[in-house]
Amino acid sequence: MKPQDAALLVILSLIWGSAFTMNGVVVDEVDPLTIVAGRLLLAAVLLTAAALIFRRALAPRSTWGVLFVLAALNNVIPFTLITWAQEHITSSLAATLNATMPLMTFVIAAIAGTERPETDRAFGVALGFVGAIVLIGPDLGDITSSNALGDLAVLGGSAGYAVSTVIAREKLRGEPMALASGQMIFGALIALPLAFVFRGAPDLSISAKAGLSWIGLGALSSGLAYVIFFALVQRMSATSVSLVSYLIPLVATILGWALLDEHIGVNLFVGLALIIAGMVLVNGTFRRRATPQATEIGAAGVSSSGD
């Protein structure tokens, strides 16, 4: 991984890690569907304006079909599921469960035939999902409880991220700002009607704290972050780009504890440790260090959401 790509992954982790905290603030005052519609609309407006100001081309018509699918799988569905989940579980737990995304990405990429399903990587997937079970264990006593359903909603959102990361890696090439703005436009076109139909006109009489967090979700987590994402997804493997999830739980846990007064249980640290160990195996870190020549050859053939 090139140093500049590693730096961008860290920046992406910080932005998306803080998104869980911002979600936790806004969802106390605004319903999930309206939050998602608002953040996607703001991101679409800002990115389109930026593309026009800097004289960048908008997404070509040939990419519209893929961008529409990505808008649904990578934005509207996971954003709604995770935001709804944060009405019932903490931001730190949501972010940690979301760290299963690289493991899901590897499984989907292996099924699709775009990445090799080696034994150590398969073991890493199993280890990571054990970590997820440790995390949701306290809620399994009543699988119909709001907490347990919240846990499952985050895992469903993570699956959406995983599928869309593989699709983006294999199907999209182009200028990152154009692709990001196109995806946000389609996301807004999907989310806005849903929000109006199911929730009606939004009540914007919210606190300044919630308003600023909502703006942060749109401008940073849905705007700038996806420009970075599309830049990385064209240079790295799908599993590699998804490794952005290494730092997201740490950022969200620290911010949740410091800003939202969230309690951090032992099972969160144990589950996170198992998930990270699984991701290390899936990424082939130890094997690649032992065979640097193979790493160079592999990197030359990969040019995608987690390396």
Domain ranges of the chain: 3-301
Q: Which of 59, 135, 52, 38 is nearest to 96 (CA)?
A: 135
- How far, CA to CA in Å, does 87 sit from each of 19, 81, 92, 140? 14, 10, 13, 18
| 297 HSE (CA, 13 A, CB side) | 5
Q: Which of 92, 119, 131, 135 is nearest to 275 (CA)?
A: 131
Alpha-carbon distance of 137 to 264, in angstroms, equals 15
Average pLDDT of the segment spanning 134-159: 76
Q: Does the pLDDT value for residue 127 go beyond 70? A: yes
Q: Are 281 and 121 in contact (CB under 8 A)?
A: yes
Contacts (Cβ under 8 Å, ≥6 apart) of 75: 36, 40, 183, 184, 187, 191, 222
Tell me the per-residue pLDDT of 226-274, one tens digit each, with 9 for 90 and over: 889 888 888 777 667 766 766 777 788 788 888 888 777 776 777 778 7
* Total-model pTM: 0.79
**138 — pLDDT class (breaks 50, 70, 90):** low
Number of Cβ within a 10 Å radius of residue 305: 30
Q: Are 96 and 154 in contact (CB under 8 A)?
A: no
- Residue-by-residue DSSP string for 225-259: HHHHHHHHHTTS-HHHHHGGGGTHHHHHHHHHHHH
